Amino acid sequence: MNHTQKLQAGIAEMGLDITTEQQSKLLDYVELLKKWNKTYNLTALRDERLIISHHLLDSLTLLPYIGEARTMLDVGSGGGQPGIPAAICRPDVHITLLDANTKKTSFLQQAVIELGLKNVRVISGRVEALQNYQAELITSRAFAELADFVGWTAHLLAEGGRWAAMKGVYPEEEILRLPDFVEVEKTEALSVPQLDAERHMVLLRKKQP
């Protein structure tokens, strides 16, 4: 199967509603990632046959969890996952991509321009330094331990908002180390088509007083 067929098959298997135009943009994003990766080392993935499953379909598992959120922060966005695929499929959500690596944010800026993503802004810097901004959904993919993730971003979570941490194997030890002000809303095992590895979504929120 080529990239287009792999993406179509994966989307169908996941039961997602993604237009032909959005699928085309997702594939454009993959081409940008491949082009820039040669010089900017955006991803450790070297086998191009796996790029659809590991970067697109894996990112798209976030879509059902965005729900009613209108603002989203992708922390440690790196090469733009899951933020850019989410932005392509949910143009109604204002998404901020944050990364401390300026090479990566240079790529993100370029990708946003080339893909015409009007709902995305890119910030270069450390998450602790971000102020005067709040998001209804804060997400990360393989960014940091859960306790660090919520600790560094607690000041950025809007009232009633939630964290959506994308993890590999079930992070039992990390959940035990969560700070007292946070509770686990739910954890779900995810099935990513064409990807033979464990994936989990951990949804967290601040405890109500």
- Per-position DSSP letters for 36-63, written without gaps between them: HHHHH---S---GGGHIIIIIIHHHTTH
Q: What is the pTM of this model?
A: 0.96
Angle at 20 between CA 19 and CA 25, to 5 degrees: 95
Burial (Cβ within 10 Å: 0-12, 13-18, ≥19) of residue 187: middle
How far apart, in whole angstroms, are the C-alpha atoms of residue 206 and residue 91?
27
Binding site: what residues are annotated? Answer: 76, 81, 127-128, 141
pLDDT tens track for 94-134: 999 999 999 999 999 999 999 999 999 999 999 988 999 99
pLDDT of residue 90: 98
Q: Which CATH architecture fits 3-206?
A: 3-Layer(aba) Sandwich (3.40)
Binding site for S-adenosyl-L-methionine: what residues are annotated? Answer: 76, 81, 127-128, 141
